[in-house]
Amino acid sequence: MYALRGREALKKAGITHVVSVLRLPLDKELFVQYQHKIIEVDDTEAENMLEHFADSYKFISDALKGGGAVLIHCAMGKSRSATVLTAYLMASRCLAPHLALGIVRRVRPFVEPNSGFMQQLELYYQMEFAENVEDHPIYQRWIYLRDVEMSNAAGRAPERIHFRDAEADTGRITRVKEGETPEEKGEVQLRCKKCRTVLAYSASFTPHMPKPAQPPYSETPLQPCAHHFVEPLLWMKTELSKGEVSGKLECPKCNSKVGTYAWQGLKCSCGDWVVPGISIARGKVDEISLKL
């Protein structure tokens, strides 16, 4: 903020554009001679900075292409402004977050985006710097998980659910490369034991970590988890959209019970707690390997 009042320094640096990354009343007199963009965010881990990366990139890029120079500021020049600059460097130079942030730290060593912003920079990298982040499956899944977390804190079901198999880009669903079939990828298919309806593929599984064994150690070998935890799938839509905090899942064809769900989480037989808990019981399905 203090840099805005250093008129001579800004003039010497050739500043033509300013990006203000904060949610505070601003003195409009400070910006009369600049092209000005405001990103209204607080420096909190829960703030959605990711939705602003594409627009800020375009604003900065257009300014530089036009021969200008850009001041990016927040309140202290430590977290929010550093995040916007890091995102720009990532997209303009195809860099991973830690490499882009390293460039910023060469000239401003104390910058430190908060952990929520760092996670969003990593997602931006995974999204390959998408121009339309809101339509991207990775962004939609991230928003969905944020909604689940906030809904759990309020003791209710989430209002918005991201169904994994509703994603437009099926290649991102199955993680199958172009020209590669699910069989070649080695997918596992879950089918209802009773009617053989396909319920899920392993690409939709939610990974979880079994708890380490505690003494006294047992000679009994570890058994596979009793459930497959999965992301929401379209055949569950009727049940999951009821607004209930928990319930049962039935096969969409034969209506036999195949699993349960609880937005606040479920404890697996291995001891791990999975949030949200959307589970298909191993005993209710056949696991079919599609590997040729």
Find the CATH number of the domain harbouring 6: 3.90.190.10
Distance CA 41, CA 21 (A): 6
Q: Is residue 141 part of a domain?
A: no
Residue span of the structural domain in which 192 resides: 164-214+221-289
Domain boundary among 85, 119, 135: 135
One domain, residues 112 and 171: no
Distance CA 66, CA 176 (A): 41
Question: What is the count of structural domains for the chain?
Answer: 2
Q: Is residue 195 part of a domain?
A: yes
Q: Is residue 66 part of a domain?
A: yes
One domain, residues 281 and 173: yes
| pLDDT reported for residue 168 | 55
Distances in Å between the alpha carbon of 265 and those of 31, 99, 157, 172?
Answer: 49, 36, 11, 25
One domain, residues 121 and 227: no
One domain, residues 52 and 115: yes
Q: Measuring CA to CA, which residue among 260, 280, 245, 44 is closest to residue 159? A: 245
DSSP string for the chain: -GGGG-HHHHHHTT--EEEEES-S---GGGGTTSEEEEE---SSTTS--GGGHHHHHHHHHHHHHTT--EEEE-SSSSSHHHHHHHHHHHHHHT--HHHHHHHHHHH-TT----HHHHHHHHHHHHTTS-S-GGGSHHHHHHHHHHHHHHHHHHTS--S----GGG-S-HHHHHTPPTT--HHHHT-EEEEETTT--EEEEGGGB----PPPP-SSPPSSPPPPPSEEEB---GGGHHHHTT--SEEEEE-TTT--EEEEEETT-EE-TTS-EESSEEEEEGGGEEEEE---
One domain, residues 36 and 114: yes
| pLDDT reported for residue 145 | 92
Catalytic residue (choose from 74, 192, 251, 268): 74
Helical pair 115-126 and 137-154, crossing angle rounded to 10 deg: 150
One domain, residues 23 and 117: yes
* CATH code (residue 251): 2.170.150
pTM of this prediction exceeds 0.75:
yes
One domain, residues 203 and 107: no
Q: Is residue 149 part of a domain?
A: no
pLDDT tier at 194 (50, 70, 90 boundaries)? very high
Q: Is residue 151 part of a domain?
A: no
pLDDT(166) > 90:
no
| pLDDT reported for residue 160 | 87
| pLDDT reported for residue 16 | 97
Which of 33-42, 130-139, 218-227, 260-269 bottoms out in mean pLDDT, i.e. has the lowest? Answer: 218-227
Q: Measuring CA to CA, which residue among 220, 224, 247, 227 is closest to residue 236? A: 247
pLDDT per residue over 202-240, tens digit each? 989 988 776 665 555 555 545 678 999 999 999 999 999
Question: Is 74 annotated in the active site?
Answer: yes
pLDDT tier at 31 (50, 70, 90 boundaries)? very high
pLDDT per residue over 68-116, tens digit each? 999 999 999 999 999 999 999 999 999 999 999 999 999 999 999 999 9
One domain, residues 178 and 64: no
